[in-house]
Amino acid sequence: MRMPRGTWRQVATLVGLSLLVSILSGCAISGAYAPMSSVAPASDHAREINTLYRLVFYLAVIVFIGTMIASLWFTLGFRDNGRRQARQFHGNARLEVLWTIIPVVIVIVMAVPTFDRIFAIAEPPPSDAIKIEVIGHQFWFEFRYPDLGITTANEVHVPAGRAASFTLRSDDVIHSFWVPQLFGKVDLVPGHENHVWFTPDAAREEAYLGQCYELCGLSHANMRFRMFVDDTAKFDAWAKNEAAPRSPSAVAAGEAVFLRQACIGCHTVQGTTAAGKVGPNLTHFGARTTMGAGIMPPTADNLAKWIRNSADFKPGSLMPAQATATLNDQDLQALVAYLQSLK
């Protein structure tokens, strides 16, 4: 059937507008959310995922454009103008076979590389991979390096060009572990171990941002962490410092406050009598770039307010508020100075 005059122009205009909207919607995001992009891979694992993503994306674009052209063709070319009788006909076997085969081929084109990469990612890590245990808590991440004797929280360091192997567990509910630019999302399940490994491409000063992506309670959105990819020398220096006990504190009054408060029942500071395991290890707290599981900078003001009542920043926080009766302003300032000195 011949298309009515002007129909091709209408089809071309509508297709062009659809493509323009699609292109503009894919423009790079600037600002706070750009670091969480999953289309800027910086490791072997992330590149495998990004390759599949691009394959599915381009196939979806082809299907979308083809479907839109066909829909516009039939909508505009066969619209009722009141001048002809609709012709009745039964199914066209050739067309039915064609539109059955096309989706099957598309699924096969996606499935073969998908299974190939799933098996590749599931391969055991290299024997020289650095081993890191990740334990999810409400609402923070604990990181342990069993071969290095390091325990830290919410900030994890890995060396560039060397595989990093993570064993994932949860201490309470289901959490998830994801740095979009480095590896795919993996859940932390109570009573079960999951594993993920990757090799980061290169060192950089800026941290990669990660977050829990499994709804885990009131402060799920505030359960964040940072992953630093260091060169070998910088990583070795960091590991040596983290494995050492805290340096003798120049803030003796603050340490005395810390050791007589309930802090020691939840937190560990190596080299002191504080050996609690409920909350984050604070041995080198002052060297961290964030606090509260990555939600704010560790300024003296933020730290004082957090100690007073962490639930003001993180609803559902299990850290008990410190009443004025047990922690006056002078003691609070000494405690803040002590924690900031732990480097």
Q: What's the pLDDT band for 11 if we cut at 50, 70, 90?
A: low
Is the peptide bond preceding residue 139 cis, with omega within 30 degrees of 0? Answer: yes
pLDDT given at position 5: 53
Report strand pairing: 224-230 vs 208-211: antiparallel
pLDDT given at position 319: 87
Three-state SS across 127-171? CCCEEEEEEEECCEEEEEECCCCEEEECEEEEECCCCEEEEEEEC
Mean pLDDT across the stretch 167-174? Answer: 95
- Judged by phi (left if over 0) then psi (alpha if -120 to 50, else beta), residue 270 lies in beta
Six-digit token string for 121: 């990612």
Query: Hey, what domains does the chain have and what are their CATH numbers?
Result: 7-81+88-121 (1.10.287.90), 130-243 (2.60.40.420), 252-341 (2.60.40.420)
Answer whether residue 164 shows pLDDT above 90: yes
Q: What's the pLDDT band for 91 if we cut at 50, 70, 90?
A: confident
Average the pLDDT over each of 79-83, 146-150, 272-276, 324-328 and give the range with the smallest value: 79-83
Q: List CB contacts of 149: < 8 A, sequence separation 6 or more.
A: 243
Over the stretch 145-163, which tens digit does the pLDDT of each residue have? 999 999 999 999 999 999 9
Six-digit token string for 186: 């993996």
Report strand pairing: 224-230 vs 155-159: parallel
Over the stretch 286-320, which tens digit does the pLDDT of each residue have? 999 999 999 999 999 999 999 988 988 999 888 88
Average the pLDDT over each of 12-16, 28-32, 63-67, 270-274 and give the range with the smallest value: 28-32
Answer whether residue 39 shows pLDDT above 90: no
Predicted structure pTM score: 0.81
